[in-house]
Each structure stands twice: as C-alpha cells, then as structure tokens.
Structure 1
C-alpha cells in the first residue's frame, strides 16, 4: 500500500510539473521593459515601453500570445539635438529622455503618445504599419507627464496626464496640439483609494472603455507600503469618477487592460526587480459588478493560462556576429545607443564581420563617451561576451565590454604610451576605480560579463581570455543596484573612447548573449 501511495504521489508531482511547463510564468519578460502599454489588433498584440536616454527610442514589440514578444520598430531615432541629448559639454540625460508611452489603434492607424521633460514636449507618433512603415511625428508643448491618449466613440480625442491631481485636455482633430479652454482637473486626488499617506502620487495613466464605461488605471505608492494599482471608473468621461484599489501584491503595478480574441481579460503591469530593471508581469482579470478584479484572490500568480515562455533570444535580446549582407540593416533592433550617436564614427561595413567603433573627440569619463552600443541584460542569469581587435588603438584609447548603469562595471583594453593592458573598472561607491590590470601583448582579446539576478542577487563577474577558450576572472565582483539617476536596468555595452588623441578605432568580432553563467555549468 505504501508503494502505491508513493507512486501516486510521484504521478501527481510529475503531472503538476508538466502542467506548469505548458503554461506561461511570471515575469513574462525577465528584462527591463517598463511602463508597458498594449493594444490588440485582431489576433496580434502590440506593446510600447520606456527607454529614456538610449536611442532609437520607444520600442514597439508584437506578440501572438501576450507572452513571447519581439521588437519590430522604434518610434524615433533621436528625440532631437542638444548638449544633454548628445553627451556634449559634460551634460547628459541619464534617467530622463522620453518616459512612459501609450499605444492605441484608431481608424486603421497606430498611435503612440509619450513625453519628455528633457525637451519640454509631448509627442504623438503614428503609422499604418509599425513593421514596414516609418512612424510620423507630431510634437507640441508643454510636456504632459505620463499621458494617455484616448480616442472616444464620438470622435473626440483626449489626453490625461499628471500625478496625484490628474488633468484632462481635448486635442485638436489633427493632434497637433490642444484645443483652447478644454483643460480641466479630471480627478482631484487619484491616490485616495490607497489612503492619505502617499509617497508617489497616482500617475502612469492608462484609459480604457469597456461596455460603455471608462476605466482609468494608475500606479501609486503608499508610504511604508508597496507600489499599488488604483482603478477609477465612470459612465461619462466628465465624471463622476469612483475609485478603488486594483492590486497590492509584490509591488506589481502600472499598466492596464488587454483582452484576448476568445474573450478573456488580463492586466499588464511591471515589477521593480533590482539591477535587471523593471520587468513585465501579466495577471488574469475577471469582471464583478462592472469592476475588473486583478489577480487570483488578490495575488499575482506565478503561472498563467497562456502559452509557455520561450527564450528572450532573439525577440528582445540577441547575439550578433556583425556579418551583414548587402540588404541587411546595419544594426538589429535589439541594439540601442547610449544617448544620440555620431553615425560617422561606427560601421559594420568597413571590415566584414566586425563592428568598428572609432574615436572622434577626447573624453575623460566613460559615462560621457559617445557611441556606447547597448542592449538589455536578462534574468535570472545571463552572460555577454565579445572578441576585440585592438590593433588600431591610439595612445590613451580605452575600449571593451561594460555593464552600464550609474555604478557601472567594465573590462577593457587601455593603450598607455604604447603599452596595452587589460583593465577592470568598478564605479561602485565614490566613483570609478581600476581594480585590476594585466599586461596585454597581443592584439586580440576576449571579454565576458556574467550577471546573476536570481532573487535580486544583483552580482556580476568579469573575465578575460587570450584564446577564447580559457577564461580568467579579473577584478572584483560588482554589485548591480538599480539607481534612479539612470532609472534603467543594467545593459551590456560595447565601448571605445579616446583620452589623448582622436582617430583610433577598434573592431568587435561579435557580441554573444546567453542565458547561462559559468557557475551553472
């Protein structure tokens, strides 16, 4: 009898594991994809997100199942010009640039609205086909914080924005600005359902209309508590509005509603998760008395009744051998530049199968250097690696592989009076420090960085190799804290900058990213 019981228990465990592996799990993307906004068109979902100081900006992703996403375009190449956008004269826009966006579909056209306190403007981008046609840009002043654009059934177009006290305005028919005398307060205190002691006023507005009712989603943060979803509803956009708590679990918040072709409802949200960034979650929604009820018994489920997650590679991040055919794009969509690039100082065509980064000015600090090419780190663990040819460096040049955030870490090659050396740098604490140096007597060297985000471990290790086979750790383990000055998860980056003379260059043979680290093997 005991053997039968053990056998049956084993069968139940195996069945449970098999059932879970056939379902999606949260987070749906273990990478920095914050402030998501979604829309469904037919059987395809589209999502926009925040990328702030990296360009191109406002990525557009698509999915057939709400779980597995790929980047298909960006709304803009650059927001504009200026010292803070161009990393000129010691200025930068870390943690700023463009923030939360809103994607909508109206009259066979996709619209994405966003804003930038850096430029002081509100932006509306539009296209008929986000995969094959460019986005057209409208811009106007002022900058409407965390705005949501909304096309109502009567043809009017609204924008809701701000934090705590939420405002609404009607837009002109051509969306080029606001109609005069239409601005007013929509909700005096949108944080009220979460209590009186609020640290972050309700923001991140996303407005929806379901069965004739208006539903407004916001995020707020009670002092001493966690990020919280607040929902208001009204029968008329002019109110009155009634509000309630939508979800208060794990700090998962900010987002909105999405339905499936077969009539199911979900809410898309994100969670702060340390050094990897703000990662997207999906929670089921059921309707009770005209209210969307988020989660399962008020909790964020680990598993979802959706198709299982596949690898993020190649949808959100991807390896790159820089081997371009004649009609290929120079850079795949997983890549973004730190701030505005100087496109005259990089190439994937000048040397076949290599990314060439050239120097064009003198820089004294890594975070102020132009043309650092980045893509997201991913969790729970990941490794980024590259091979670098340093034959054409000039004296004072510094090039290599980084993990970019305020407290960055990097490993690279410095050319010091004709003597090349491998250097590991950490910017933890008071500022950048060289933690280790190794003489380099050859022109090809391999680097890798391993990231561990499991349970918010947020640690990284750097390695170098002289043959690509045998790896040697260098320097110290770095911590990867999520800091507000950069307001972004850690990103892998390839860099090269000059400290003495311009005109040198380096060639990167490849960048490979994997979902393993050496300690797992």
Structure 2
C-alpha cells in the first residue's frame, strides 16, 4: 500500500531538516537555535507521520548568554543546521554553534533512549556536514561560498592534526546568499554535495556538485528552482535518502512566513548519475510514497490537542536554558507552576518561557491561568513569541488588583530591549482567567488575535492584533508561549492548566 504525503510534511517551524534511514525507520533532525531541550530527533515509518522521540541535549552550555543573564542572550544563535549520520552501529549528530564559535559532535548507539557522548571541535565550521568515507576516514565539509573540507579523527573527537584541510569547491559568488547548507554524501561510487543558494531578488535554489573522487574536480548544476506556487519562496537545503523499496527522496524546507520554515518532501529520480528533483522541475504538493502508512507513530507534530500532564510533553521547549528551581509540574497536580525567581524588565529577558510551535494554516492556543500565587507588579500570561511579540495576561497592581492587559512589542532600542505598548483591558474579581491566542497564517495574513474569558464561554477580544513578522533576530517561527515574571525578586508564582493547541484547517 502507498501513503499519500501532502506538502509541507509538517506545517510548523522545523528548518534545515536532515533525514537518514536506518532499516525501515526514518530519523530527522532540525535547527533549534535558542530553544531547550535542543535539536529535536524525530522518527517516521512512512515519511508522513513524524514523532519527536527525543532531543540531542537538555542544554549544551551554562554560560550567561544561554541563561539570559546580565543582558546577554543567544537569540538567533545556538544550534544551527544539523548533520546526522549512521555509521557502524552508531548515530552521529553534528552542528555549529554561532555564539560559542565551536562545533559539536554527539554520538550514541541508541538514538531513541541512549546516552549521547559529546565532542567539541574548536572553531567555526559553518553548516557542517559529516562524511564517513569508504576507507574509514572522517570529514567535515562546511562553508559559505567557499566550501572547505576538514579531516577529523576516526572517532570524531577532534581535528586530525596531519589530516586533509583545504578548499573543496569555490562556488559561484552572487549578490545575496552564497552557497551554504552543505549535505555531503557518497552514493554509488560518486561524491555528492548538496547546497542552497539565495541570489538577491530571486528565491532559494538547490545546487548539487559531484565528483568521482573525494578531492577531484567537481561539476555542479542547479537541481531545483521552484516555490510550489507559494509566494516565490524557494524550496531548498537538504540531502537525499532512499526507502527500503529503492525510491529516493529529499527533505528540504520552505519559508512560510511567520509560522517559520517547514519541511517539504521532494521526489528524487536519477539520470546519468545526477539526481533530479520533483516532477519536471516542480515540487509536488501531494505525492505517493511506496510505504504503508504507519498509524502507530503518534502524530504529535500535528496533534489536535497537546497537553502537559505531570510530565512535560515532548513538543514543548524552553526559551534558553530553564532555571530548574523556578518551575514545577509536581507541586500542584495537573498544573504547570512558573516561579518568579528571576527579575526581568520585559518578556524577551524573562527566564522559563515555555514555548510550542504554531501550525499553519491557522491555530489556537489556550490556557487557564490561576494567579493566586502572584504578587504585586508581576505579569503572567501567554504570548505570540518572536522578536516582535504580543501577549495577553494578568498584571497584579500595587493594591493586589488583577487587571487583564495586552502588550504589543512595537520596536527595539539600540541596546536590544523591547519597546512595548501595554494596555489595560479589564479588572477582574476572580483569580482565574482563560486566555487564548489565534494565529492566522492563511493567505499569508500572519496575524495574531488575543482573547480572554472568565468562564470559558463568553470570550472578549483584545484591543489590537499583532502583525507577525518572521525576523532574523530570532531566526525562528512564531511560538505560543507561557510566561510569568516580575521586575523585582518577589518570588510569586503563576499556575497554568488546560494547555491546548488546536489546529484549524480552514
């Protein structure tokens, strides 16, 4: 039986995807930037239904920037463009960290439940790709415009001091984004290097270079220049892989506005030793794969209702490293408690913001907030979270009054702090309130609407909507976020229940 896959495969922000197959299972990793735990590891049996089975790390640095301390942050940095390989019974995941100026390689024998061992390679290796060559030697291929090759020790623990280190290819220079996003593979006696390029005034395009020898002469060509009839946003960046039946595919991504960059499955055929992507150069919006649909892989990525019970759901991630002493899912059964132990001047500086990817074409995130434990001048609620953000929540006044407020980030100062316009909506008598944000990505509207209710029946709208805008300062799609903080260390807390993200198809 065949499975019908509709593109984008996941209608959420999973950028720079890397897919490998081991046996009859497919595994995918993606960029995670400043969110923790980081580098989601996803599994599928049919290339349609994907599940987050684990993460590469809980955190990978304890520095001030990773903890949002002393005005420092890693927004838009962190882990970028992973490379994943399976070699001699072990899984390897590699990425470059822009803020730490280092390259990290993780290794495990059990990708689903195993312990990852980490090696740190000094220096920047932009968008690195791992290659285990047929003679047992190991290489990193990386770069922007000029693509380099660097030999590693066979166990990937460090750079091999007497090894190869040289330019592999000088790609055509363009005004805009030069070739990067390396995916280096050895297939049927040839070396293939897949790259992305984004010339100014055009869309992203997919390149491929090939050679009969590792360091030999490479010839290149454009493999794909198509936008899938979506806003001239090119589909590109990724390697290729096969199925047990011998079909070939590529998992690339496409910019989809404020929701982020979404994975796109592209058919691959071979002609004269060259991979050909799509059907007559076009990405199919729907395609059949020769795999039986596997409903046993839970569709967490497109779940109609995502909840946090006693244990944290695998789809939720913290913004930067969490303070483990400032949250609990056990102190009050069935509730998430966020404790205000870390003073912050505004939302982007607040620790322990818990986030969930939004879903196109539109979706609605809801939460029940209990403010009984909050103290004066503290703010808690939910947000449409990116560099330009909006929120709705409750602010506790000097007299203990509870006021529904809505805030919109309108700009940023030179020091990076947000300029927020906050408006009072209504003072409430109770201590609990339902909050929700409606994210509308239909026809690229990219708007977020804010609502509140005291009884979960009669809903009232905020005064303004947020015009969402994907910005490189965060380099991530908009997320539904839960937060609680104060400007002073008063150590109140907020409790959250009935967490849900409902996807809307129309």
- TM-score if structure 1 supplies the norm length? 0.91
Q: Which has the higher helix share?
A: 1
Alignment of 1:98 onto 2:79: yes
Structure 1 residue matching 2:464: 3-state secondary structure: strand
Whole-angstrom distance in 2 between the partners of 1:510 and 1:96: 32
Equivalent in the alignment of 1:425: 407
Equivalent in the alignment of 1:377: 358
1:180–1:321 Cα change, 3 Å: closer
- Quote how far apart the aligned CAs of 1:399 are: 0.3
Aligned residues: 490
Query: Which among 253, 258, 275 is matched to residue 236 of structure 2?
Result: 253
Whole-angstrom distance in 1 between the partners of 2:425 and 2:438: 19
Equivalent in the alignment of 1:34: 15
Whole-angstrom distance in 1 between the partners of 2:318 and 2:71: 18
Alignment of 1:55-454 (within 5 A): 55-190=36-171, 192=172, 196-250=173-227, 251-306=234-289, 313-315=299-301, 319-324=305-310, 330-417=311-398, 418-429=400-411, 431-454=419-442
Whole-angstrom distance in 2 between the partners of 1:350 and 1:292: 55
Q: Deviations over 1:162-207 (max 9, x none)?
A: 11000001101221111124343343422x2xxx534111111001
Q: Deviations over 1:431-460 (max 9, x none)?
A: 311144211211010000011112221111
- TM-score if structure 2 supplies the norm length? 0.93
Whole-angstrom distance in 2 between the partners of 1:374 and 1:146: 25
Structure 2 residue matching 1:68: 3-state secondary structure: coil
1:383–1:116 Cα change, 3 Å: same
Equivalent in the alignment of 2:231: none
- Quote how far apart the aligned CAs of 1:320 are: 4.7
Equivalent in the alignment of 1:477: 465
Alpha-carbon contact 2:196-2:206 (below 8 Å) kept: yes
Q: Unaligned stretches of 5+ in structure 1?
A: 1-20, 325-329
Query: Which among 15, 19, 30 is matched to residue 49 of structure 1?
Result: 30
Whole-angstrom distance in 1 between the partners of 2:77 and 2:432: 37
Structure 1 residue matching 2:79: 3-state secondary structure: coil
Structure 2 residue matching 1:344: 3-state secondary structure: helix
Q: Deviations over 1:134-172 (max 9, x none)?
A: 222111201211000111111011100111000001101
1:309–1:489 Cα change, 3 Å: farther
Q: Deviations over 1:283-320 (max 9, x none)?
A: 11111110000111111111111377999952466745
Q: Deviations over 1:225-245 (max 9, x none)?
A: 111101000111111111000
1:247–1:312 Cα change, 3 Å: farther
Q: Deviations over 1:403-447 (max 9, x none)?
A: 110111110000011111001111134631114421121101000
Alpha-carbon contact 2:46-2:293 (below 8 Å) kept: no
Whole-angstrom distance in 2 between the partners of 1:99 and 1:316: 23
Q: Which has the higher strand share?
A: 2
Equivalent in the alignment of 1:465: 453
Whole-angstrom distance in 2 between the partners of 1:262 and 1:165: 36
Whole-angstrom distance in 2 between the partners of 1:103 and 1:318: 30
